[in-house]
Amino acid sequence: MKQFLAWIGLKIRLDSQRTKPPSVREGEIWWASLGENIGTEINGKGRSFARPVLILKRLSQNTYFAIPTSTQLREGDWFIPIQYATYSVVVCLHQARTIDYRRIDKKLGTLSQAQFQLVKEGLGRLYGL
């Protein structure tokens, strides 16, 4: 069962935070509260409705273009398998989105330059960039 009301409560608390944005760099993996979403949109998990995301681009001091990851290994143009620390995950290119710094919680790791390049190339192929 979807927990939309719990997500709304957390979203209100996140929005009211006035903390300093963390030092985030492109190619890093961070926990981010993505929420309880609709249909096939990727959800966060647990009490903070979070999942690891790859920071693809820093858009401003407060905003990032991020791509959710999943431990459910899948194949296809939408998914790029990556390895960071001891984790094997896929970057879900079709779920890329802009997020505010208040969704970001904890840094998990950094992709190698080669793996980050694979993700960027996958986006380029998929979206014709």
pTM above 0.95, yes or no: no
The domain of 92 spans 4-127
* 18 burial level (CB within 10 Å; 0-12, 13-18, 19+): exposed
Q: How many domains does the chain fold into?
A: 1
Write out the two tokens for 66. 């991020």
List C-alpha distances in Å: 35 to 66, 89, 98, 103: 14, 20, 13, 9
Please report the pLDDT score of residue 7 as a whole number.
92
Residue 90 banded pLDDT, cuts 50, 70, 90:
very high
Q: What is the pLDDT of residue 86?
A: 87
Q: What is residue 85's predicted lDDT score, i.e. its pLDDT?
A: 82
What is the per-residue pLDDT across 19-65, written as a single tens digit (0 to 9) for each? 999 999 999 999 999 999 998 989 999 999 999 999 999 999 999 99
**Res 129 pLDDT > 80:** no
The CATH number of the domain holding residue 91 is 2.30.30.110
